[in-house]
């Protein structure tokens, strides 16, 4: 709207200048000399007066245009509003609520310490259900609220469809958890991935496989942006480290019976199974693999890195490995974070809590370095940032992915996660 008004003002200025110029040309000295009369004097004076008025209006409009542009450049002084996209319902609600609670903990701390640039921070959350259709509706809801920045994104398949919406609105997007390499392939230069990409996960996976003497790997994904992307990276990269891909299986989301997948894996001769999906379906796969007689090693990706996996698997989960994002209990400063989180919410933090907590503080640091909440200035500050948080050191490649891997290997032993160093 501001651009439209400004363009209209400029056009009026041009019209007035043209009019003034025409009036000046119409005053011909010879005509005045030859046809000089009282009536002609009046006409000349009228034209001079009109020219003076035209020039005066031009000056007024130019001053107004300048004031309008200056006003547009002023920083807002109200609350800084951060939109949050997370699955607050559905099968991944455990993760979504943990994300939101971690964001809130950071915001409450920041506000208690005086806010950011003297302004308080407000969160505005929307439920994306970890579903592409719900996520685009949630994004529209967040945009309509007039937020300043956006954080969130648990599932890659849900956050990717929203990225163009936020780009078109000029909103900086910090994606805390989703880590498909398809995110950065979109090339939207105001979107940053806080969690390490699947390429980092597969490096960690290869190290684990080497330490265990693995030879043949079976992959299981669910066809969506996150799980298939992780499987594709494994298929391309693991053979380079000397591992054979025995079979690749696709499980329909929510499928109760996966006996055909179990049979295929057993027949493939795989001595290692890597589950690329989320914990809700992953626990079912693990139980049926063990019940079906599979005795090889089972490992799950970061989408299943949750204490809920241990609960859902029961005894079948013993010995299962996890390529995990930073695990809060092993983080530097994690004890205090766990205590503060537990006191506030009456429960312990989940797997992505550190990344979400760090997302808010990284944004705060970038705003303060930019000394502005203007998207372009904060975006440039994020691109150059080197932030040390609970999840480790965060800095970005030119493609806006983390430069440093934050993956670690966990193992379920006696009903809890322990750290494994391949």
Q: What is the CATH number of the domain that holds 288?
A: 3.40.50.2300
Whether pLDDT at 393 is above 60? yes
Same domain, 103 and 177: yes
For 96-116, write each residue's pLDDT tens digit. 999 999 999 999 999 999 999
Q: How confident is the model at residue 77 (pLDDT cuts 50, 70, 90)?
A: confident
> Considering the entire predicted model, what is its pTM?
0.77
Mean pLDDT score across all residues of the chain: 87
pLDDT score at 55: 54
**3-class secondary structure, 410:** strand
**3-class secondary structure, 101:** helix
Same domain, 47 and 95: no
Same domain, 237 and 150: no
Same domain, 148 and 185: yes
Number of structural domains found in the chain: 3
pLDDT score at 87: 98
Of 27-36, 78-87, 95-104, the poorest mean pLDDT is in 27-36
pLDDT score at 330: 80
Domain boundary among 72, 92, 127: 72
Whether pLDDT at 151 is above 50? yes
On whether residue 96 sits in a domain, the answer given is yes
Whether pLDDT at 327 is above 90? no
On whether residue 282 sits in a domain, the answer given is yes
How far apart CA 387 and CA 372 sit, in angstroms, is: 18
Output the CA–CA distances (angstroms, integers) from residue 227 to 20, 219, 275, 277, 312, in the order listed: 68, 10, 9, 5, 20
Biggest distance spanned by C-alpha atoms of the chain: 116
Q: Which has more confidence, 61 or 348?
A: 348
Give the DSSP per-residue string, 55-71: HHHHHHHHHHHHHHHHH
**3-class secondary structure, 139:** helix
Domain boundary among 324, 351, 374: 324
Q: How confident is the model at residue 235 (pLDDT cuts 50, 70, 90)?
A: very high
pLDDT score at 351: 87
Strands 392-394 and 387-389: antiparallel
Domain boundary among 285, 305, 324: 324
**3-class secondary structure, 273:** strand
Output the CA–CA distances (angstroms, integers) from residue 92 to 41, 68, 100, 132, 150, in the order listed: 86, 47, 13, 13, 20
**Which residues, at least 6 apart from 166, have a Cβ–Cβ distance to it below 8 Å?**
139, 143, 150, 173, 190, 191
Whether pLDDT at 45 is above 70? no
> Which residues form the domain of 307?
199-324
């Amino acid at each position: 709207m501001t651009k439209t008004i400004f363009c209209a003002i400029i056009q009026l200025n041009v019209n007035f200048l043209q009019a003034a110029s025409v009036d000046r040309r119409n005053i011909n000295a010879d005509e005045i000399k030859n046809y000089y009369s009282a009536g002609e004097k009046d006409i000349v004076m009228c034209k001079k007066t009109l020219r003076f008025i035209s020039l005066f209006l031009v000056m007024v409009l130019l001053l107004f245009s300048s004031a309008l542009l200056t006003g547009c450049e002023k920083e807002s002084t109200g609350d800084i509003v951060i939109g949050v996209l997370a699955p607050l319902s559905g099968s991944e609600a455990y993760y979504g609520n943990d994300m939101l609670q971690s964001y809130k903990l950071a915001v409450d701390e920041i506000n208690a310490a005086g806010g950011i640039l003297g302004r308080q921070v407000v969160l505005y959350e929307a439920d994306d259900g970890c579903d592409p259709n719900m996520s685009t509706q949630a994004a529209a809801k967040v945009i309509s609220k007039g937020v300043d920045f956006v954080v969130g994104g648990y599932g890659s398949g849900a956050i990717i469809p929203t990225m163009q919406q936020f780009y078109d609105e000029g909103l900086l997007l910090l994606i805390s958890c989703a880590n498909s390499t398809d995110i950065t392939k979109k090339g939207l230069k105001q979107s940053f991935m806080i969690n390490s990409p699947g390429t980092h996960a597969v490096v960690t996976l290869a190290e684990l496989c080497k330490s265990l003497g693995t030879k043949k790997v079976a992959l299981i994904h669910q066809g969506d942006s996150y799980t298939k992307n992780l499987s594709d990276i494994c298929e391309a990269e693991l053979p380079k480290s000397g591992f054979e891909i025995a079979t690749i299986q696709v499980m329909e989301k929510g499928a109760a019976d996966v006996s055909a997948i179990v049979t295929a894996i057993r027949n493939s001769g795989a001595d290692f199974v890597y589950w690329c999906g989320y914990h809700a379906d992953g626990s079912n796969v693990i139980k049926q693999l063990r019940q079906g007689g599979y005795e090889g090693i089972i490992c799950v990706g970061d989408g299943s890195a949750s204490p809920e996996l241990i609960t859902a698997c029961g005894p079948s989960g013993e010995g299962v490995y996890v390529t995990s994002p930073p695990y809060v209990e092993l983080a530097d400063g994690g004890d205090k974070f766990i205590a503060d989180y537990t006191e506030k919410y009456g429960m312990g933090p989940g797997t992505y809590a550190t990344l979400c907590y760090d997302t808010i503080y990284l944004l705060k640091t970038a705003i303060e370095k930019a000394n502005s909440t203007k998207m372009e200035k904060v975006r440039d500050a994020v691109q150059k940032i080197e932030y040390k948080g609970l999840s480790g050191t965060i800095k970005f490649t030119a493609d806006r992915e983390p430069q440093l891997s934050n993956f670690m290997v966990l193992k379920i032993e006696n009903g809890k996660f322990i750290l494994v160093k391949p």
